[in-house]
């Protein structure tokens, strides 16, 4: 089931320059983003991912994916060199059904599938709920949704550009299923923000 | 390009070689080859699988340490090194040699002067073990009772 | 309930410093190198690899040095170390019939193709202390003989099972990847693949005792050592970068095939069934114990009585792991001050009540 990847030129552009240190730094940033929902983290590492993949998207993939994490790549991501690059450097098995993936990578936020398409885990094993890595045109700490929940002192504000209009309602509906649900990382350029399933979205 | 079988057989030989031998082989080449690291050498694990009864259903025995590296030599060939143990430099050297053995000016020479003698040495070492084992072979005979 | 206790850092640091000094022993005696442990305490290294569930002789030797020779502590160190490493994948199932055999004996078939090969073994030694080892000196080289032409040594059982009277081990339908205890929790009823993984990393003493119990009548399985073999096997895996299997080197293994009498069931004719054991390096006792317990745990599947401890899957699998076991036992050393305080209050109150009741009874009797 593991996707066999023939190294192509795109795949052969290197991953992390310093695999251990860079992965640690990216993990730190991801952890900070997830534990302070809405906070925008800036990555400082050097990375040259293939065209169409932002540095933060690439760093999140290299940090979180490995041979034990089935990944679903949105069709547009699967089409170009991005898929080969991600599969080559992470060794993650690529699955064709979104609901079978532990991670999902979307380079085009506008075509984000319905949240119900992914695995939300079960009440018994909520940790099996998938993590989405969604690349968006921009992230802003002003003029967006109001967030509250664990990791937020009072309120946080996050504006995420490029998501489909249906996202807000779908994400708010998901809160009712807690502890089941999805954790979502948003990547833009070298920046990263997160909406873990614990966060409550207000308009 | 070489066939997969040929590549598999030199990778098996290189994986069992001493790092110093591989280092000397690469350093001994003129002009010295250069390469780009595609996937930096790292050490990690592989889960060793076995089969119940040796031939039955699969199960996990335990892990082993493995080092790996992927390089691309000047001229284009991509080499892959996966070796038992934690020696990252050895994984890189195996990757470099794997790339050089696929085509290019050094392929023939490396096959003759490095891979062939290494394979011979490894087979000789295996025969030494088998010959010690052979010296401990017994022929049991059952005593006839009551005679 | 554990209560965080502050303080004691200096005492702890000093205790660790003393441990380091104790580990070294008398500095007038030359220090032991990791390579010496690897080469000269090999069977200790092999056990640490097997139960530490990581094949790496250098690291196992290092762990033994660090643990002052304490096996379970060394196993714990190796288990902890492996959690820091990425996993590149799984190997193809090893082919033990292609083993470079150093030892191979069968207690059920006398004349086996390739012969009975004793290898290097403690069997047939007199278990008398060899005082010559107190003096230094190199042993004479082991004798050699011409090896058999045919290098491949197929399993005795598979070759000699002509009547089909011994159960044949076949891959499960579709040959699926096995469950992995290091990635998912134990679940019951645990399938055989999960049980075998648990036993392979299980404590040798526990597994041996459970196997021994089956021989003494607790879950009788009437075992015979069908074949025991030890040697090196090539390990192959499929790097995602290549897409085809490559040989990454050899590992040393011990394998035990146990053959057990079986009276038959509604669906199966009387025959011999099998138990399987394997260990990293040279670990016959462990592999044999594992094979006995593997078979004992199949009792339910084979429709046999399951009333003895070695047949109880949950009991065996939950208590086989020495890292877990030592952790839970040794955690009793941690401060339980509040726990104990509350129990003290409970016991004092119970005693007060009992005393009051006694006094009341005395008074009643007096009146």
Decide if C200 and B59 are in contact by the 8 Å CB cutoff.
yes
Q: If you ran DSSP here, which 8-state letter would residue B144 be given?
A: P
**Among chain A residues, CA nearest to C87:** A67
pLDDT of residue B147: 47
pLDDT of residue A192: 97
Q: Is it the case that residue B39 has pLDDT exceeding 50?
A: yes
Tokens 């590296």 belong to which residue? B69
Peptide bond into C231 cis (omega under 30): no
Question: Which of A87-96, B82-91, C323-332, C350-359 has the weakest average pLDDT?
Answer: A87-96
Question: Which of C219-223, C285-289, C292-296 has the weakest average pLDDT?
Answer: C219-223
CA-to-CA separations, C127 to C47, C122, C204, C352, in angstroms, rounded: 21, 8, 21, 61
Decide if C145 and B138 are in contact by the 8 Å CB cutoff.
no
Q: Is it the case that residue C4 has pLDDT exceeding 70?
A: no
pLDDT of residue B13: 98
Q: Tell me: the pLDDT tens digits for B65-124?
A: 999 999 999 878 999 999 999 999 999 999 999 999 998 899 999 999 999 999 999 999
Q: Is it the case that residue B1 has pLDDT exceeding 90?
A: no
Peptide bond into B31 cis (omega under 30): yes
- Between CA B60 and CA C249 the distance in angstroms is 18
Q: If you ran DSSP here, which 8-state letter would residue C129 be given?
A: -
**Among chain C residues, CA nearest to A63:** C86
pLDDT of residue B95: 98
Decide if C243 and A7 are in contact by the 8 Å CB cutoff.
no
Q: Nearest-CA distance from B47 to chain A in Å? A: 11
Q: Are C322 and C203 in contact (CB under 8 A)?
A: yes
Q: Are A49 and A81 in contact (CB under 8 A)?
A: no
Q: Which of B38, B42, B72 sits opposite A19 (nearest CB)?
A: B42
| Percent of chain C residues topping a pLDDT of 90 | 77
Question: Which of A29-33, A87-91, C118-122 has the weakest average pLDDT?
Answer: A87-91
Chain C residues close to B3, C-beta within 8 Å:
none
- Between CA A195 and CA C57 the distance in angstroms is 45
Higher pLDDT, C235 or A111: C235
**Mean pLDDT across the stretch C158-183?**
90
| Percent of chain C residues topping a pLDDT of 70 | 98
Q: Is it the case that residue C37 has pLDDT exceeding 80?
A: yes
Contacts of C305 (CB under 8 A, 6+ apart): C219, C299, C311
Q: Tell me: the pLDDT tens digits for A40-64?
A: 999 988 888 888 899 999 999 999 9
**Mean pLDDT across the stretch C280-309?**
95
Q: Nearest-CA distance from B67 to chain C in Å? A: 9
Contacts of C236 (CB under 8 A, 6+ apart): C91, C92, C245, C246, C247, C248
Q: Which of B53, B136, B142 sits opposite C117 (nearest CB)?
A: B136
- Between CA C66 and CA C80 the distance in angstroms is 13
Q: Is it the case that residue B139 has pLDDT exceeding 80?
A: no
**Mean pLDDT across the stretch C260-287?**
91
Decide if A12 and B37 are in contact by the 8 Å CB cutoff.
no
Question: Which of B26-35, C156-165, C325-334 has the weakest average pLDDT?
Answer: C156-165
- Between CA B18 and CA B30 the distance in angstroms is 21
Tokens 């170009």 belong to which residue? A80
pLDDT of residue A2: 34
Q: Are A94 and A65 in contact (CB under 8 A)?
A: no
Give the length of chain C: 367
- Between CA B23 and CA C12 the distance in angstroms is 45
- Between CA C105 and CA B51 the distance in angstroms is 20
Give the burial class of A150: count Cβ atoms within 10 A of its Cβ; 0-12 exposed, 13-18 middle, 19 or more buried. Answer: exposed
- Between CA C99 and CA C232 the distance in angstroms is 6
Decide if A91 and C238 are in contact by the 8 Å CB cutoff.
no
Q: Which of B55, B78, B88, B129 to mutate to test the interface with C (most CBs of C within 10 A)?
A: B55
Q: Are B42 and A19 in contact (CB under 8 A)?
A: yes
CA-to-CA separations, C199 to A9, B11, C122, C208, C292, in angstroms, rounded: 45, 33, 24, 10, 11
Q: Are C73 and C51 in contact (CB under 8 A)?
A: no
Q: Which of C142, C155, C250 sits opposite B135 (nearest CB)?
A: C142
Nearest CA-CA partner of C249 in B114, B18, B41, B69: B18
Tokens 């050094």 belong to which residue? B106
Q: Nearest-CA distance from A87 to chain C in Å? A: 8
Q: Which of B9, B44, B57 to mutate to test the interface with C (most CBs of C within 10 A)?
A: B57
Residue C217: helix, strand or coil by DSSP? coil
Q: Are C188 and B55 in contact (CB under 8 A)?
A: no
Q: Which of B69, B82, B119 to mutate to test the interface with C (most CBs of C within 10 A)?
A: B82
Q: Is it the case that residue C3 has pLDDT exceeding 70?
A: no
Chain C residues close to B70, C-beta within 8 Å:
241
Decide if B47 and C145 are in contact by the 8 Å CB cutoff.
no
User: Using H for helix, E for strand and C for coil, what is the string for C239-303?
Assistant: CCCCCCCEEEEEEEEEEEEEEEEECCCCCCCCEEEEEEEEEECCCHHHHHHHHHHHHHCCCCCCC
User: In this complex, is the C-beta atom of C183 within 8 Å of any C-beta atom belonging to chain A?
Assistant: yes
pLDDT of residue A87: 86
Q: Nearest-CA distance from C339 to chain B in Å? A: 38
Q: Which of A4, A6, A7, A67 to mutate to test the interface with B (most CBs of B within 10 A)?
A: A7
Chain centroid to Cα B111, Å, comes to 14
Nearest CA-CA partner of B50 in C355, C247, C236, A196: C236
Q: Is it the case that residue A11 has pLDDT exceeding 60?
A: no
Q: Are C10 and C17 in contact (CB under 8 A)?
A: no
Chain centroid to Cα C276, Å, comes to 13
Give the strand order in the sheet containing C100-105. Answer: B137-138, C116-117, C100-105, C223-237, C246-262, C271-280
Q: Is it the case that residue A80 has pLDDT exceeding 80?
A: no
What is the band of B142 on the pLDDT scale with cuts at 50, 70, 90?
low
Strand partners, C236: C247
- Between CA C363 and CA C131 the distance in angstroms is 76
Tokens 């119970």 belong to which residue? C350
What is the band of C185 on the pLDDT scale with cuts at 50, 70, 90?
confident
Q: Return the structure tokens found at A63.
A: 């940090």
Question: Could you tell me the end-to-end alpha-carbon distance of chain C, in angstroms, rounded to an integer?
Answer: 47
- Between CA B114 and CA C318 the distance in angstroms is 51
pLDDT of residue C43: 98
- Between CA C103 and CA C116 the distance in angstroms is 8
DSSP for chain A reads: -PPP----TTTTS---SSHHHHHHHHHHHHHHHHHSTTPPEE------PPTT--HHHHHHHHHH--TTS-EEE-HHHHHSHHHHHHHHHH-PPEESSGGG-SEEEES-GGGPPPGGGS----SS-GGGS-EEEEE-S-EEEEEEEEEESTT-SS-EEEEETT--TTHHHHHHHHGGGTTS--EEEEEETTEEEEE-TTPEEE-
Chain C residues close to B66, C-beta within 8 Å:
88, 237, 248
pLDDT of residue A10: 46
Peptide bond into B47 cis (omega under 30): no
Q: Nearest-CA distance from A123 to chain C in Å? A: 16
| Type and span of the H or E element at C56 | none
> Which chains, if any, share at least 3 CB pairs under 8 A with chain A?
B, C
Decide if B57 and C115 are in contact by the 8 Å CB cutoff.
no
- What number of other Cβ atoms are within 10 A of residue C141's Cβ? 7
Nearest CA-CA partner of C273 in C289, C254, C288, C291: C291
- Between CA A65 and CA C66 the distance in angstroms is 33
Chain B residues close to A47, C-beta within 8 Å:
none
pLDDT of residue A78: 62
**Among chain C residues, CA nearest to B18:** C249
pLDDT of residue C223: 94
CA-to-CA separations, C24 to A80, A120, B64, C29, C62, in angstroms, rounded: 59, 54, 29, 9, 14
Q: Tell me: the pLDDT tens digits for A112-160?
A: 999 999 999 999 899 999 999 999 999 999 989 999 999 999 999 999 9
Q: For chain A, what are the domain ranges?
A: 7-202
pLDDT of residue A136: 97
User: In this complex, is the C-beta atom of C243 within 8 Å of any C-beta atom belonging to chain A?
Assistant: yes
Tokens 């000093």 belong to which residue? C14
CATH topology of domain A7-202: Rossmann fold (3.40.50)
Q: What is the pTM of this model?
A: 0.89
**Among chain A residues, CA nearest to B71:** A12
Q: List all residues of chain A from 80 to 119 with a beta carbon under 8 Å from chain C.
A: 87-88, 91
Q: Is it the case that residue A4 has pLDDT exceeding 60?
A: no
Average pLDDT, chain C: 93
- Between CA C93 and CA C85 the distance in angstroms is 22
> Which chains, if any, share at least 3 CB pairs under 8 A with chain B?
A, C
Q: Is it the case that residue A109 has pLDDT exceeding 50?
A: yes
**B68 phi and psi, to 5 degrees?**
-145, 160
Q: Nearest-CA distance from B109 to chain C in Å? A: 22
Q: Tell me: the pLDDT tens digits for C135-144?
A: 888 899 999 9
Classify the C-alpha dihedral C330-C336-C342-C345 as positive or negative: positive
Contacts of A179 (CB under 8 A, 6+ apart): A121, A123, A126, A197
Q: Is it the case that residue C211 has pLDDT exceeding 90?
A: yes
Q: Which of C87, C90, C179, C240 to mutate to test the interface with A (most CBs of A within 10 A)?
A: C240
Q: Is it the case that residue C271 has pLDDT exceeding 80?
A: yes
**Mean pLDDT across the stretch C222-232?**
95
What is the band of C295 on the pLDDT scale with cuts at 50, 70, 90?
very high
What is the band of A203 on the pLDDT scale with cuts at 50, 70, 90?
low
pLDDT of residue B143: 65
Average pLDDT, chain A: 90
């Amino acid at each position: 089931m593991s996707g066999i990847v023939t190294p192509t030129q795109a795949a052969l552009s290197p991953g992390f320059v310093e695999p251990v240190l860079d992965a640690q730094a990216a993990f730190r940033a991801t952890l900070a983003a997830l534990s302070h929902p809405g906070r925008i983290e800036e990555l400082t590492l050097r990375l040259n991912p293939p065209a169409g993949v932002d540095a933060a998207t690439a760093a999140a993939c290299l940090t979180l994916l490995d041979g034990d994490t089935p990944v679903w790549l949105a069709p547009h991501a699967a089409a170009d060199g991005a898929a080969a690059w991600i599969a080559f450097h992470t060794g993650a098995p690529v699955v064709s059904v979104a609901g079978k993936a532990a991670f999902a990578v979307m380079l085009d936020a506008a075509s984000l599938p319905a949240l119900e398409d992914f695995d939300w885990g079960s009440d018994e094993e909520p940790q099996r709920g998938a993590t989405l890595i969604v690349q968006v045109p921009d992230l802003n700490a002003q003029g967006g949704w109001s967030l509250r929940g664990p990791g937020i002192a009072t309120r946080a504000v996050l504006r995420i550009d490029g998501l489909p209009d249906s996202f807000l309602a779908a994400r708010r509906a998901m809160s009712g299923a807690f502890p089941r649900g999805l954790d979502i990382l948003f990547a833009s350029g070298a920046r990263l923000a997160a909406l873990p399933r614990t966060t409550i979205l207000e308009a | 390009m070489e066939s997969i079988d040929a590549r598999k057989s030199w990778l098996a030989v290189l994986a069992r070689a001493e790092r110093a031998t591989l280092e000397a082989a690469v350093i001994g080449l003129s002009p010295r080859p250069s390469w780009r690291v595609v996937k930096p050498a790292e050490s990690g694990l592989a889960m060793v699988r076995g089969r119940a009864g040796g031939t039955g259903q699969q199960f996990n025995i335990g892990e082993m340490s493995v080092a790996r590296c992927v390089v691309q030599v000047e001229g284009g060939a991509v080499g892959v090194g996966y070796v038992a143990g934690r020696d990252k430099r050895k994984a890189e050297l195996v990757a470099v040699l794997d790339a050089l053995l696929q085509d290019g000016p050094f392929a023939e020479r490396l096959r003759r002067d490095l891979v062939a003698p290494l394979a011979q040495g490894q087979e000789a070492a295996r025969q030494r073990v088998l010959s010690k084992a052979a010296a401990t072979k017994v022929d049991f005979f059952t005593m006839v009772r009551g005679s | 309930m554990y209560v965080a206790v502050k303080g004691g850092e200096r005492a702890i640091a000093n205790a660790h410093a003393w441990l380091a000094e104790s580990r070294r022993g008398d500095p007038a005696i030359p220090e032991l190198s990791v390579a010496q442990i690897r080469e000269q305490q090999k069977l200790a290294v092999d056990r640490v690899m097997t139960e530490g569930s990581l094949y790496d002789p250098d690291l196992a030797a290092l762990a033994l040095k660090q643990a002052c020779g304490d096996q379970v502590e060394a196993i714990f160190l190796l288990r902890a170390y492996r959690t820091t490493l990425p996993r590149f994948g799984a190997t193809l199932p090893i082919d033990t019939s292609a083993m470079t055999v150093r030892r191979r004996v069968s207690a059920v078939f006398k004349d086996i193709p390739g012969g009975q090969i004793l290898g290097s073994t403690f069997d047939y030694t007199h278990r008398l202390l060899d005082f010559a080892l107190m003096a230094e000196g190199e042993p004479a080289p082991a004798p050699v003989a011409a090896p058999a032409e045919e290098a491949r040594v197929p399993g005795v059982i598979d070759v000699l099972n002509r009547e089909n009277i011994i159960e044949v081990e076949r891959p499960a339908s579709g040959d699926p990847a096995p469950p992995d205890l290091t990635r998912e929790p134990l679940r019951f009823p645990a399938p055989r693949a999960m049980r075998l993984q648990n036993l392979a990393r299980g404590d040798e003493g526990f597994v041996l005792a459970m196997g021994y119990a089956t021989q003494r009548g607790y879950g009788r399985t009437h075992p015979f050592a069908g074949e025991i073999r030890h040697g090196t096997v090539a390990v192959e895996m499929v790097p995602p970068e290549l897409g085809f299997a490559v040989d990454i080197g050899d590992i040393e293994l011990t394998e035990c095939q146990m053959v057990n009498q079986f009276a038959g069931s509604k669906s199966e004719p009387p025959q011999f069934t099998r138990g399987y054991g394997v260990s990293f390096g040279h670990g016959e006792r462990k592999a044999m114990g594992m094979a006995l317990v593997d078979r004992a745990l199949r009792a339910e599947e084979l429709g046999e009585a399951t009333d003895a401890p070695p047949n109880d899957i949950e009991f065996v699998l939950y208590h086989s792991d020495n890292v877990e076991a030592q952790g839970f036992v040794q955690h009793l050393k941690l401060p339980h001050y509040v726990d104990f305080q509350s129990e003290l209050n409970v016991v004092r109150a119970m005693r007060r009540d009992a005393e009051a009741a006694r006094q009341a009874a005395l008074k009643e009797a007096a009146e």
